[in-house]
Chain A
């Protein structure tokens, strides 16, 4: 095999893993919100964008260490999650049309606020990790490897949280049966606030990292939102295993298809693949009957 082919394969695999882990972080938060509050948070992409911009602002304008900037961004966006739960989602529990309207309102406000305050359209957060790892002929940037490791460790943490802690048990109870959970004395509002904070924090982490991996634009949330929806629908809305599996598929396709195809063709092919899969399995790969 030629040297360039090996390089291409390795680079593609690493790209696929990084993209998948970031997509999965976002889609996992979205699934949390859907399971626990029964809402589709279309503003998730914008939360991701806000997280990325806070990190960028802290790292460049204020000029602190990128990792500290990442933590600040996660904290701020997490607090914003509490606000969202109380004032935006709780009044419209399970009402999909109103949720869409509120989310669009939120998207309009946040995207335009960022677009006005940032005169340049495309920016990049400075690299979190510098240097290149060399193994034989293959060279990889440490940044990608670190991002992948962060993504995987966060995933494991979240899964442990859901499966091993008391709060995680409460979340699963609420997701299974709202009335039953209330009867057992579970504080539903606390659980939804917690879910919202986790979802927003994961989105902010993904956004901050992607701000350095790709680039920042005020409209970066829209494209990623389509990806998240693809993952959700493919995996089955509300299923965590589905998110992991579908996230890998979508991330891999996203890294592999652009080798042969143009950007728009990649999108169209992905849509086609997902539509065909859904026609044969209308509830997604791991989905159950939808509660709506």
Chain B
């Protein structure tokens, strides 16, 4: 985390402008994606990527407080199932159920994180893993409502069209808004307090940061957004099954965060985009496709310890070194 602080201090105004221009280009590119790619399958992939970007970014937000939330995919499932059940069986509008799902996930997150705040490091990770497995099994055993192992089908959708373009724009907007909110939280006092707790909960509580309060807050914010992502997934995908939210999905979400770069806000975004989209390009290999993702994992973790976001920094350092050596000659 120390390098991050240094990077913030040294960032000049000019760099800020280039950043704004780069983000502008990126957003323009994202806005034009439905025009570039006409095929509904490609658009489907982009939509799912957006959902997972919210999930991974919210997971990283919890991880900045030093907690490894291995129940995160189960919360994604909770949001999805709450939204699906409310819109299908209760008959609420999907737009309303989406946000109710987010609040339910947040409520459950707060409810469990008060007792879990006693646990540290691995114990928190493992207990949250067990909670996630248990939550998913509870969802599965409510057969009448959730369809059990077979899953729930014919969930009302957000738009009444077969086209995927409105979903893409809607989800893009929701993702951008969520990311901006998460970013504002991270650079606010709350975000710095969370990082302080991560570094030393003893020191941070000695300077008046309530450990329990901020850890619960981190989980609450993270669970809200993952619940939102779950609701979006449910009302877009029409069908749900418990296997899409099991613990391996959580581990993949951790991988998205780590491969992208844990120390940077854009880490989970880049990681999800790379690891979700590139293996899909090789989906013609069928059962050999997982090897592609494994190869990416090994390549990135052995070559770029701090994730993909550190590549520009490494290139910059390489360029500078080359320049200085040529000057000294």
Interface residues of A (CB under 8 A from B): 40, 42, 91-92, 96-98, 100-102, 104-106, 108-109, 112, 115-116, 222, 226, 229-230, 232-233, 237, 264-265, 267-268, 271-272, 274-275, 278-279, 282-284, 290, 292
B95 within 8 A of A: no
Q: Scan B158-183; emit 1 where CB is below 8 A from any A CB, else 0.
A: 00000000000000000000000000
The reply to whether A98 and B301 contact each other, CB–CB distance below 8 Å, is yes
Known: A271-B134, A282-B118. A229 touches B288 (CB 8 A): no
The 0/1 profile, CB within 8 Å of A marked 1, for residues 106-149 of chain B is: 00000000011011111100110111011001101100000000
Asked if B130 and A264 make an inter-chain contact with CB atoms under 8 angstroms apart, the answer reads no
Question: Does B199 sit within 8 A of A, measured CB to CB?
Answer: no
Q: A102-B297, A271-B133, A278-B119 in contact; A112/B291 too (CB < 8 A)?
A: yes
Interface residues of B in 190-220 (CB under 8 A from A): none
Shortest Cβ gap from A106 to chain B (Å): 8
Chain A residues whose C-beta falls within 8 Å of the C-beta of B274 in the assembled complex: none
| Inter-chain contacts of A92 with B (CB < 8 A) | 301
The answer for the CA separation of A40 and B116 in the assembled complex, in Å, is 21
* In the complex, residue of chain A having the shortest beta-carbon distance to the beta carbon of B296: A105
Identity of the chain B residue whose Cβ is nearest the Cβ of A262 in the assembled complex:
B141
What is the interface of chain B mostly: helix, strand, loop, or mixed? helix
B226 interface contact, C-beta 8 A = no
How many residues of chain B have a CB within 8 Å of chain A? Answer: 41
A268 touches B134 (CB 8 A): yes
Is B298's CB under 8 angstroms from A102's CB?
A: yes
Residues of A within 8 A of B298 (CB): 102, 105
8 inter-chain pairs at a CB distance below 8 angstroms, sorted by A residue, are A106-B294, A108-B294, A109-B290, A112-B287, A233-B123, A264-B140, A264-B141, A278-B119
Q: With both chains docked as a complex, state the minimum distance between the C-beta of B129 and any C-beta of chain A, in angstroms.
A: 7
- Set of chain A residues within 8 Å of B129, measured between Cβ atoms: 226, 229
Q: How far is the CA of A45 from the CA of B252 in the complex (A)?
A: 17
With A91-B302, A102-B297 known to touch, is A275 a contact of B258 (CB < 8 Å)? no
B255 at the interface (CB under 8 A from A): yes
Residues A292 and B255 in contact in the complex (CB < 8 Å), given A105-B297, A233-B126: no
B287 touches A101 (CB 8 A): no
B62 smallest CB distance to A (angstroms): 13
Quick check: B127 and A108 within 8 Å, CB to CB?
Answer: no
Q: Please state if A101 and B140 are interface contacts (CB–CB under 8 Å).
A: no
Q: In the complex, A199→B54 CA distance in Å? A: 38
Contact A112 B255 (CB under 8 A): no
CB closest chain-B residue, reference A225: B247
Question: Smallest CB–CB gap between A211 and chain B, Å?
Answer: 22
CB nearest neighbor in B for A229: B126
**Are B130 and A230 within 8 A (Cβ)?**
yes
Assess whether B305 is in contact with A100, with CB atoms less than 8 Å apart: no
Other A-B pairs beyond A104-B255, A108-B293, A233-B130, 8, CB < 8 Å: A42-B251, A109-B294, A229-B126, A237-B122, A275-B127, A278-B127, A282-B120, A290-B121
- Chain A residues, CB < 8 A from B262: 97
